[in-house]
Structure 1
């Protein structure tokens, strides 16, 4: 049987190789080492007098219950990030540390990153309830986890999907530049384009949403469906997921109305919105800046010369990923 130090070393490496933010990986390690200030721990220290879970009010809140076994969080594990947690009921009979060891042994870096992000978001939800008495819904927790697990480099979509990376740039007293690039599962450019809203300046999240609306229109003109629209605007992405979970169609702000319009535009097309880090959206960002020079313009199967270096950088990153898996 492997010693605890060997197991700890394996888990440490598995967590820190995961594709997640350092904040999420650090949290996962603390959870594995039973270092979280759960109520059973605080009770032993004499800090509190009650050890019941603040979320469900039934079980004793130890680390396993807080992040895995609580009825309030089980649903999150089933639906978050498309991660299939097999036999969750059976899994919760072991400790969280044992479960993390199993995850490290069976999941790849991307899936392990999902685990770290979900655990961090579940704990964030718990703390919001404890310290602010605010109960976050499941969609908010999932969006929070997704915001912490986003690609650092551009990756091609799976066939037959198309990716449309879009971005907006705002210059005071000048206007709003918009850029979009469509690429297929081979990473090949289908089309790219720029647009300029002269003398129209908006807050960043409104500009990004207007850009998405324009990008959706462009996808329709190209006859594309199953498009994954990618943005690096976290405010847009969070609002998109919040609106998706809302049972009410009412909205109160211009930003919210724009999001609703975009959702209506892609309804029934098989398209979706995904979040990426700015480093995975460089081509679109470049096109948005170029819009101040080019105005309304489009390119088929190519990008303007000024954006070619960013496109080549994405191609090189794809080649490195392929080489690493050979």
Structure 2
């Protein structure tokens, strides 16, 4: 017997949707954490999950460090007694997509929440995500990641607001250009319609999250925003530099272009490819000029336009098959 294609299977699942047949109180939520050499950050995140007002069914920690640097933290947490099951596994191949796929394979919940190992989750976090999924009949819910700059951060970084995410009113359907990971709740039914959840081709560059969410959107998934379900992310010292901002902008531009060229934003026709190429070239030149003109107005303004120019250079470089491997 022929199996239905993923998009046909998702269409069948849409009536009724998982959210429509499940209340927030009865959701079995697996929290999935991919970690790599951040044991102290992981420890405080696990502490946050312990005190969730709406505790998860289980927490899955998949360690991408072959040496198992997160094992001791997990063992200590287990020894304290937990309101949920805590599973730990090492995935030794350096690849964030494969690591996340392993967490999906281990999860037993009918909803999966993803949070990064360097984030902090306030007590209402998981409950707010679950309530939004039920209230807005959603297949996925995204929430904000709020950056926490240390007191030692240079003033120009604070003024530039370089780490802020775009935010939307609660209940808004998230447009494809604003799809982000780091704080998301996904229906397992809808997620598993994908033959491959996270694409390993993005495993060293990043962008596997946006690729997945764009595929789900194309297949008809309803992805909404919950502005109350925020997590925080301390900005590390290594990220407080113009060099890091430019490299992240380069990767972001490459990710966007790769998604467009792969048809994630609609059919990758010759016209769409050409428009992307010409727009990126013109925007790169304009942003570079504005960076020079804004230099007397403050370093943060100059840096803003430099990141825009670099992001558009990233789009152009993707046409040549170049990919900045941030996680290599």
TM-score, normalized by the shorter chain, greater than 0.5: no
Larger radius of gyration: 1
TM-score (norm 2): 0.24
Q: Which has the higher contact order (CA 8 A, sep 6+)?
A: 2
Normalising to structure 1: TM-score of the pair? 0.24
User: Between Structure 1 and Structure 2, which shows a larger proportion of helix residues?
Assistant: 1
